[in-house]
Structure 1
C-alpha cells in the first residue's frame, strides 16, 4: 500500500512538472487561452456556432464548403444537389417545439431535403416524445427527404421517452436518422479543407473547446496518459490502474463525506426546515447519470439540490426541484415567491424543476481539482453558498408551503 501511495505522489509531482513547463511556454503559445471562454456556449450558443458554419451565406466566406463536407461526412451525398439553402436556429414546429438547427435544401425552387439537428452538447435531458414530434413535423414537408441528427457529447441513443427504440432503429435503417457526437464534429472539421486562415483558427479553437470543455480531454490529462504509457513508468501505471479499480468506491465515499458536511451546515443554519423534516441525501450512484445531492423530505419529491446529467459528476445544475404534474400548486407557489430579480436571474423552469440553472466555472464538471476540495470542506462551503439564497426564501415562506399540505408519495 505504501508503495502505491508513493507512486501516486510521484505522479502528482510529474503533473506539477507538466504544469510548470506549460506555464513557461505560455508567453509564446497561450496554450490555455481559448476565445470560446468569452462566447455564449450554452445549448443555443453552440447551435448558433454550428448553424453559422453550415450556412453557405454566412460571413465566414467559405461558401458551401462546410455544408458540403458535413453532408458527405454523414453520408448524405444525394443532398449535395441544391441551388439554395435555408439554415434556421430554434425553428418552431406546429406542436410548439423547436428544432435546434434546421437546414433546408432547395432545387429548382422546390424543397428537396431537410436536416434537423437535436443538439445535446450541453447534456440537456430528452423531453417527452421530443424526437418523435420532430419526425412528425419534418414529414409534413411533403416531397422532401430528411435526416434527423441526435447530437450528444458522447454517443448514446436517445431515451425511450423521446422516441421508442423500434422507431429510432427504423429511422436509422431507412437512413433518415444518424447519431453523432462531439468527437464526430471534430472529425468533420478535421476533414474540411478550410481556406481562410482566420476561419481555420476559429475552427481550431472550437475543436479545442469541444475536446477540453465538453469531452474533458485536457492537455493535462493527455500528458498524464502519455507519461503512464512510457515503458519506464510501469510501477506508476500499476498504481494508477489499482486506483481505477477502486474509483467507484472512492467516488461513493467522497459523495458520502460531502453529504455529511452539507447536513452539518444545514442543521446549524436552517432549524425550521430541519424541523420540517428536511435532511441532506445523495440520490443515485456517483458514477452514473442523473446522480444528485438534495435537501428534502423522504418520499416528498421537492427540495433544493444539485443534479448531474452525465456520469462522474459532469454537467451539473442546481435549483429547486418540484414535479409540476405531481405538485402543481407548489410548483406555481415556488415560482411566485421567488420574485426577486437577483435570485431569478438566469434560472429556468421545467416540468421537473421549479427553478434551475447550470453550475458555473469549474463546478460545472467536478474533476480531480474540485473533488479534492471535499475532505477540507471547501466544496461543501461553495455548494452551501449557492443554496443559501434559495433556502432563505423557502424558510420565509414555509407557512404558505405548509398550508398546501403536501403528502408523501
Structure 2
C-alpha cells in the first residue's frame, strides 16, 4: 500500500468527512432494521424461517396467498419443472398447503395435496455430503409419483448452481424474492398490516444490502471508496483486531493476578497457577496445544457472543496415565462434568458477552465484564486447584514419568 504521512492523513480525513456521500451512508446505516438489530442477516436458518412465514397463507403477515402464489409462478415457469406450468399456480388449493421447516433436515418443504416442493436454502454455504441426493430420495419415498408431483429447488443469493444433482434441482436467486416483495408492497401496501410492511421492508433491505450488495448503501460505499481509497486502505490496514485486543486484556489481567499464560490460540487464553504448573507435565507428542500441556484453565471467547471458562484436560496420545488419573481425581469435584471425551472439560461456566460491540464501543465496560466474570469463576479455579494440590505428591510422581518418556522420545 502507498505510504501515507500524518499531514496527508489529516487532509484525507477532512476530505472524507466533508463528502456528502459519507453523510448519506452514515444516515442510511443508522436506520433501524430488525434483522440487523438481531444480527441474523447472515444466518441461513433465520432466512428460511422468514421465508416459511411469508409462504404460509395462514400466517399473521396479512399477505394471504399473495407471496406464495407469485413464488410458485416463478418456480413452475422453470424448464426443469416438468409437467407443471405457471398457470398451475392459480388452481392450487392454498388453504390446504403445509409449510414444513427442517422436516427430515430439509430447509423448507411445501406440501399440497398433489405437489411437493423441496427447497434447499443456501445463504453463504454450499451443498455438501450428498445432501441434495438424500433430500430427493426422502421426498420421493415419502411422496411417490404419480400421486405427487415432486419439485426440487436450490435457492441462493445469485442463483448459483449446486455441486451435485444439477439435473434434478432448479436454481433460483434471492432476487426473485426481492422482486416479488417489492411488487406486493407497491400494489397492495394499503391492504397489508403496518407492522408486516415494516418487517418486509426490513427484509428486502437486508437482502439487498447484505446478500446481494445491490442496495443504495452498497453503491454509496463503493463511491466513497473510489474517492478516498488511499485513506480507507490505510484505515483498513490498521483496523483493531478486537479478539487479539481482548486476549491481551485477559493476559494482562491474569498476570496481574499471579497466573502464568499457557499455549496460545485465537480467541482463547489458557492459564495456570504457579503451584499447579509444578505438577502438570507437558507431553512429548502433539496434543493440539502448542506447549503440549496436560491440563489448563481456559477463557474461551471464540463464539464472540459469550465468554466461557473451562478446566480442561488435553489428549495424551500414547501415555494416558497422567490424564486418566487426573480425571479420576477431578470427577469427584463439586459441579464436575462427567466426561469421556478426548478433550476433557472437567468443569465450566459461561456468561453472555457482545465482544465486538463492547470492544469497539466501550473497552472499559468490557474490562468490567471480565472482572465480574472472574469473581464468579475464581471459586471454581480455587476448588480445582485445591483438589489437584491435595494429590500433589502423586501427580508430581506421574509428571516425572511423563517427563522421562518425553526425554526418551527425543532420542
Q: Tell me the distance in 2 between the aligned counterparts of 1:51 and 1:222.
A: 30
Change (3 A) 1:387 1:119: farther
- Structure 2 residue 8 is matched with structure 1 residue 3: yes
Q: Tell me the distance in 2 between the aligned counterparts of 1:59 and 1:202.
A: 12
The CA RMSD over aligned residues, in Å, is: 5.7
**SS at 1:32's partner residue?**
coil
Deviations along 1:93-136, whole A, 9 cap, x unmatched?
Answer: 2xxxx4443322332xxxx2222345768x9x999886675455
**SS at 2:113's partner residue?**
strand
Q: Tell me the distance in 2 between the aligned counterparts of 1:355 and 1:72.
A: 51
Compute the displacement of 1:208 (Å): 3.1
Compute the displacement of 1:34 (Å): 4.0
Larger radius of gyration: 2
Compute the displacement of 1:304 (Å): 3.1
Matched residue, 1:305: 300
- Structure 2 residue 381 is matched with structure 1 residue 381: no
Q: Tell me the distance in 1 between the aligned counterparts of 2:213 and 2:382.
A: 40
Deviations along 1:119-157, whole A, 9 cap, x unmatched?
Answer: 768x9x999886675455334323352425466xx7799
**SS at 2:58's partner residue?**
coil
Matched residue, 2:119: 116
**SS at 1:304's partner residue?**
strand
Instruction: Name whichever of 64-73 and 35-44 sits farther off.
Output: 35-44
Say which of 196, 200, 203 aligns to 2:200: 203
Change (3 A) 1:325 1:294: closer
- Structure 2 residue 397 is matched with structure 1 residue 398: no
Compute the displacement of 1:222 (Å): 6.0
Q: Tell me the distance in 2 between the aligned counterparts of 1:220 and 1:56.
A: 32
Compute the displacement of 1:70 (Å): 2.6
- Structure 2 residue 302 is matched with structure 1 residue 317: no
Contact persistence 1:304–1:390 (CA under 8 A) = no
Contact persistence 2:100–2:110 (CA under 8 A) = yes
Deviations along 1:172-214, whole A, 9 cap, x unmatched?
Answer: x124264756x76545533546523434443112223455688
- Structure 2 residue 294 is matched with structure 1 residue 294: no
Q: Tell me the distance in 1 between the aligned counterparts of 2:215 and 2:252.
A: 35
Alignment of 1:344-383 (within 5 A): 360=354, 363=355, 377-378=363-364, 381=367
Q: Tell me the distance in 2 between the aligned counterparts of 1:255 and 1:174.
A: 44
**SS at 1:102's partner residue?**
strand
Compute the displacement of 1:225 (Å): 4.3
Q: Tell me the distance in 2 between the aligned counterparts of 1:21 and 1:252.
A: 20
- Structure 2 residue 113 is matched with structure 1 residue 106: yes
Deviations along 1:245-269, whole A, 9 cap, x unmatched?
Answer: xx3x535866544432331123234
Contact persistence 2:209–2:217 (CA under 8 A) = no
Matched residue, 2:164: 170
TM-score normalised by structure 1 residue count: 0.55
Kindly tell me the number of residue pairs found equivalent between the two proteins: 325
Change (3 A) 1:116 1:223: closer
Compute the displacement of 1:320 (Å): 4.0
Q: Tell me the distance in 1 between the aligned counterparts of 2:211 and 2:76.
A: 25
Change (3 A) 1:53 1:251: same
Q: Tell me the distance in 2 between the aligned counterparts of 1:352 and 1:102.
A: 40
Change (3 A) 1:379 1:177: farther
Deviations along 1:309-339, whole A, 9 cap, x unmatched?
Answer: xxxxxxx433449899979x98x98xx9389
Say which of 80, 92, 98 aligns to 1:86: 98
Matched residue, 1:263: 251
**SS at 1:58's partner residue?**
coil
Change (3 A) 1:17 1:352: farther
Q: Tell me the distance in 1 between the aligned counterparts of 2:111 and 2:218.
A: 40
TM-score normalised by structure 2 residue count: 0.55
